[in-house]
Amino acid sequence: MPVNLPTTLLRSFVAIVDSGSMLNASEQVFVTQSALSLQIKRLEELLQQALFVREGRRLTLTPAGDMMLDYARRVLDLHDEAIAAINTGRFAGPARVGMVQDFAESLLTGLLARFSELHPDAQIYARVAGTAELQGLLERRQLDIILGFAAGGDPAAITTAPMSWYGDSDLARRDIIPLAVLEQPCRFREAAIRALDEAGRPYRITVETPNLTTLRSAVSAGLGLTCRTHLFLRDATPIEPHPLPDLPRVACILQTADGLDIATQRLADLARETVLALG
């Protein structure tokens, strides 16, 4: 009986080789490291050959693994070509989109719902993280589309928005300004601290959190002031700039990987439209 090699096992095998490690490959194929190890073990059992040898922390291909790599690439290329040919104009997926927390609430409901209506069979992978992390994932081809923040003049800007101070206006008159901020790296945190330093206004960080929802709650409770755009508290009125220093503008950026399929490019277009509508 001929041996059938599942494409999921071949894809995981190629991902390990291309990414250089089990950890990186697990993020690329969206399975845990333990599940990935089991997949490679299963592939080796089917082939009755060892594909990797471990040298310290490095995985090196065996002669059989080196030979199998070329065949695996050819099989996957032919498989993907067949799927694309049969499903021309239809979604093949998954669409991998990353966004900063500010966009998550509006985009995960409105944008992805609209995309799902257009492509009901769609599989979507959504990642919420800081802009720098998202850009790294995009460079490693682990995301197709990212939405984040950058400096006002960034060439990838969809639009720009003013940064504003939010919180209890009485806190702005204190001798030492209480700040509520996200953990580093954070463009808004840096802008707030730089503006206060340049204005000679003393401050102390009273709340520091990795979570935007927690930050929003802290500001609403009067625990500190924060710097954000109108996307942060859409129903709140920013504090007037005086007695607080002025803040710069920030760019909302959209970046995509090369060679997007028709459906994923449509998702990128919808993301652009959605962000512009928020303004």
Task: Give 174-227 pLDDT, tens digit per residue.
Answer: 889 999 998 888 888 999 999 999 989 999 999 998 888 888 888 888 899 998
pLDDT score, position 92: 52
Query: Which one-letter amino acid corresponds to residue 84?
Result: A
Place of tokens 């589309």: 145
Give the separation between CA 77 and CA 85, rounded to whole angstroms: 12
Q: Is the pLDDT of residue 18 over 90?
A: no
Contacts of 173 (CB under 8 A, 6+ apart): 243
pLDDT for 49-81, tens place per residue?
A: 999 988 777 788 999 999 999 999 999 888 877
What's residue 123's pLDDT?
75
Mean pLDDT of the chain: 82
Q: Which residues lie below 8 Å from residue 188, measured CB to CB, with a gap of 6+?
A: 149, 163, 181, 182, 226, 227, 228, 250
**Res 222: pLDDT:** 87
Alpha helices in 87-156 (DSSP H): 101-106, 112-118, 131-139
pLDDT at site 233: 60
Across 111-120, 168-177, 259-268, least confident range: 111-120
Write out the residue limits of the CATH 3.40.190.10 domain(s) in the chain. 95-160+252-278, 164-247
Contacts of 113 (CB under 8 A, 6+ apart): none
Classified as helix, coil or strand, 99 is strand
User: In the chain, where does the domain assigned CATH 1.10.10.10 lie?
Assistant: 7-86
CB 196 within 8 A of CB 177: yes
pLDDT category of residue 4 using cuts at 50, 70 and 90? confident
Superfamily of domain 95-160+252-278: Periplasmic binding protein-like II (3.40.190.10)
Residue 90 pLDDT more than 60?
A: no
Could you give the 3-state DSSP secondary structure of residue 172? helix
Query: Which amino acid makes up residue 51?
Result: L
Number of residues written out for the chain: 279
Q: Give the pLDDT confidence score for residue 84 in this predicted structure.
A: 65
Q: Are 218 and 209 in contact (CB under 8 A)?
A: yes
pLDDT higher than 80, residue 113: no
12 within 8 A of 30, measured Cβ to Cβ = no
- 272 or 106, greater pLDDT: 272
Domain 164-247 belongs in CATH node 3.40.190.10: yes
CATH topology of domain 7-86: Arc Repressor Mutant, subunit A (1.10.10)
For 143-166, how does the pLDDT look when each residue is reduced to its tens digit (9 = 90+)? 888 888 888 777 778 888 888 898
H or E segment to which residue 205 belongs: strand 203-209
Rounded Cα gap, residues 33 and 25, in angstroms: 8
Q: At what angle do helices 33-47 and 7-19 cross, to 10 degrees?
A: 120
Write the CB contacts of 145 (distance below 8 Å, at least 6 apart in sequence).
Answer: 95, 96, 97, 98, 254, 255, 256, 257, 260, 264, 267, 268, 271
For residue 193 the two structure tokens come to 């601290």
The radius of gyration of the chain from alpha carbons, rounded to an integer in Å, stands at: 24
Q: Is 47 helix (H, G, I), strand (E, B) or coil?
A: helix
Distance CA 137, CA 118 (A): 26
Tell me, what's the pLDDT at 216?
84
